[in-house]
Amino acid sequence: MEQQNQFIEALTSPDTQEVAFKKLLNDYKEKLYWHVRKIVIDHEDADDVLQNTFIKVFENIHRFKGNSSIYTWMYKIATNEAINLLNKKSRQLGVSNEEWIEKQVAQLESDIYFDGDAMQLKLHKAIAKLPEKQRLVFNMRYFEEIKYEKMSEILETSVGGLKASYHHAVKKIKNAINE
């Protein structure tokens, strides 16, 4: 915690913030990118969200209270930004977020930024059919292996609720893959 406080201080002090922000960017850009990419699927959208996330982190670092880890705080911002983008895109097309994601996944086969095999495509299609909360929980638990306690802080949901969401998500995905 002491180390984090020092780092936050470095991020807010004019003399040190440039170096500190570069470190933050270097440490988290890939983790946050993959977190966001699994939510929005499209690379260009993930790129937009990632850039907005870091800019918001920089602009609001003085508001960070230090109640959680900076990693949790950044994940929260990235998740919100990604969901906001989904809301915006789906609203523009007059469809639901789930329908928008299914559409994105349907285009994956021809996406130059996808090199998965048939099984991976099937998994993406199954994940895309999940309701938003279950999709988020499944991605964070299965791919990123984020602990339920951390996830609970990021998604502001009880650990019990998250476990139930993951359980339902796994069940639905198994069924979809075995179809």
Smallest gap from residue 46 Cβ to other proteins (A): 8
Residue 73's closest CA among 91, 103, 92, 53? 53
Nearest partner of 65 among 148, 22, 149, 5, judged by Cα: 5
- Identify the DSSP state of 108: G
User: Would you say 102 or 157 has its CB closer to other proteins?
Assistant: 102
In the complex with other proteins, the residue whose CB is nearer, 140 or 154, is 140
Question: Residue 156 — φ and ψ, nearest 5°?
Answer: 55, 50
Rounded to the nearest 10 degrees, the angle between the axes of helix 2-12 and helix 70-93 is 60
Burial class (CB in 10 A: 0-12, 13-18, 19+), 72: middle
Binding string to other proteins for residues 100 to 139, with x set by CB under 8 A, is what? Answer: --------x----xxxxx--xx-xx---------------
- Whichever of 125 and 133 has its CB closer to other proteins, that residue is 125
Q: How many residues bind other proteins (CB under 8 A)?
A: 34
Which residue of 5, 6, 9, 22 would you call a contact of other proteins, by CB under 8 A?
Answer: 22
Kindly state whether residue 9 participates in binding other proteins, applying the rule CB under 8 A.
Answer: no
Q: Residues 49 to 78: which contact other proteins by CB under 8 A?
A: 50-51, 54-55, 58
Q: Does 149 bind other proteins (CB under 8 A)?
A: no
